Chains A and B, each alone.
Chain A
Amino acid sequence: MEALGLDVLLNGTNALRLLGGLWVSVQVALISVLLSLPLGMLFGVFMTWKNPVAKVISRLYLEIVRIMPQLVLLFVVFFGATRVFGINISAELASIIVFTFWGTGEMGDLVRGALTSIPRHQYESAEALGLSKPQIYLQVIIPQAMRQLIPTSVNLITRMIKTTSLVMMIGVVEVMKVGQQIIEANRMVSPNAVFGIYGTILFLYFIVCWPLSMLASYLEKRWAVA
């Protein structure tokens, strides 16, 4: 135990504190994901519009999301908002804003990909059968798009959860920050805690993300259309 630095976990409320930190991470991720999914669906449909203005906006948004490191976005929103607009937002709120901004862009691109991957003759044969536009989308297009979308968006969700480890940089006391605090406090007594604690955090992230990635590959197999 001591060699691995796991003993610190059993000291006082350390284990509970770590779990509390994990809960903060999961909360930030969960709220961002819940906001990103519907917004991303809307954005994805918007991205399929042929209107040139819509195209430029979609393109610009997606490029910003892709190019800007999440850490820079966090700094811009958290410190920038305070300085420039004089509004004081909490670090948690800033994190949720950035993650939702990011998630909506990525989700939108997944939705766009799913919608455009459905061959034109699927629309046409449904039309030829005399189905109405809403019926075509509800019965033919969306079910097929979903089959492609769910595995890829589960992957996006795990990426979002993992990336929440960045939010400690703007002062959110999430699992990484709690871990750091525990390590600092025990540096003298138990120098190996640095391994034990970070190892535990690694394990916690694994516990949260692994079922999701299993789910994704299960759905991918189950819905494979070939």
Chain B
Amino acid sequence: MSEPTNANTAAFEPLLRIEHLRKVYGEHVVLDDISLEVAQGEVIVIIGPSGCGKSTFLRCINALEPIQGGTILLDGQPVSAEAKNIAQIRQKVGMVFQSYDLFPHKTVLENIILAPMKAQKRKREECVAEAEKLLERVGLLDKKDAFPRQLSGGQKQRVAIVRALAMHPEVMLFDEVTAALDPEMVREVLDVILDLAEQGKTMLIVTHEMSFARAVADRVLFFDEGVIMESGAPEEFFSHPRTERAQRFLRTFTFDAVKHHAPTSDEPAPLFDD
């Protein structure tokens, strides 16, 4: 029997291959020699202290930032801010930002169908039908004619996710999409992302929600000062971080129970203190 060579090579070729990526702002090296392979359907969660380059990394993958070294290959095609077909390559990468970035002059539905219609030249009816289906899935079909200013933060982010999905991207990038939300709205957005993970969407997620990271990730990357300090399965990483940096970082998310000391000296000394 002959091997189905096509399927085989597809299995070995990662969807996203990043090699020796280097990003510099002036003197400041923000990303230093980053290499990463992401397989089809894999969910990568990126965590790390503020300013370590997580956002910059995602922005490079979408060619929103020019890079100073290395290569990024998506589906074997180079991603680069200078490429002529950059708009086409970007259509394969969906991105959702921390700031609510819906277009304020368009309704929810118009926000979603704009890029499929203009950039992919798909038919309006087809785009509307798909948009409605996606909105229904995130529980927002009744908001399709609302303007962004009429939505809550959580609703805006769910629409932003739908807007990115409507382009049928091969990989989704999420940059702290719940960081600006009130706590009670975080869940509804994370649930949408969990749902996508279950459907096998390839995703790179930057988040500070550690229990979510643990639940959704196939692999966790710990960034520090522009390098990947640690990388591993979530159970492994969260229970036994290897590097001291990662241990220190994870400790900032836990609180020791407060011990109630006798507050002041005018209290009688505890009797059992001997």
Contacts and interface: CB of A to CB of B under 8 A. Distances in A.
Interface of A: 119, 121-122, 124-132, 135, 139-140, 143-144, 147, 223, 225-226
A131 B149 contact: no
Nearest to A133: B87
B105 A127 contact: no
Interface stretch (B10-18, B114-122, B242-250, B263-271): B114-122
A226 B90 contact: no
Contacts, number: 68
Given A121-B97, A226-B149, A143 B163 contact: no
Interface string B163-175: 1100100000000
Contact of A139 (B88, B114, B160, B167): B114
Contacts of B37: none
Contacts of B97: 121, 124-125, 128
Nearest to B110: A139
Interface residues of B, number: 28
B119 A135 contact: yes
B167 to A, nearest CB: 6
Interface in B150-186: 160, 163-164, 167
A129 B167 contact: yes
Interface in B118-145: 118-120
Contacts of A225: 104-105, 149
Given A139-B118, A225-B104, A130 B90 contact: yes
B202 interface: no
Interface in B83-118: 87-95, 97, 99, 101-105, 114-115, 118
Interface centre among A125, A130, A147 (most CB of B within 10 A): A130
Nearest to A147: B105
Nearest to B100: A121
Contact of B118 (A124, A127, A131, A143): A131
Q: Which 8 A-B pairs have the closest CB atoms?
A: A130-B91, A125-B101, A129-B115, A130-B90, A128-B95, A225-B104, A121-B101, A130-B119
Given A121-B97, A124-B97, A225-B149, A129 B104 contact: no
Interface in B26-60: none
A130 B91 CA distance: 5
B149 A127 contact: no
Interface centre among B89, B94, B115 (most CB of A within 10 A): B115
B71 interface: no
Given A125-B95, A125-B97, A225-B104, 5 more contacts: A124-B64, A127-B64, A130-B89, A223-B105, A225-B105
Interface of B: 62, 64, 87-95, 97, 99, 101-105, 114-115, 118-120, 149, 160, 163-164, 167
A226 B62 CA distance: 29
Nearest to B102: A125
Contacts of A125: 95, 97, 101-103, 160
Q: Which secondary structure dominates chain A's binding surface?
A: helix
Contacts of B62: 128
B230 to A, nearest CB: 28
Given A121-B97, A124-B64, A129 B90 contact: yes
Contacts of B115: 129-131
A3 B196 CA distance: 82
A135 B121 CA distance: 12
B61 to A, nearest CB: 10
A89 B273 CA distance: 104
Given A121-B101, A225-B149, A132 B64 contact: no
B119 A122 contact: no
Contacts of A140: 103
Nearest to B88: A130
Contacts of B163: 129
Contacts of A147: 105
Contacts of B88: 130
Given A121-B101, A124-B101, A130 B167 contact: yes
Contacts of A131: 87, 114-115, 118-119
Nearest to A128: B95
A127 B94 CA distance: 10
Nearest to A138: B118
A132 B87 contact: yes
A119 B94 CA distance: 20
A131 B160 CA distance: 15
A226 B151 CA distance: 11
Contacts of B102: 125
A222 to B, nearest CB: 12
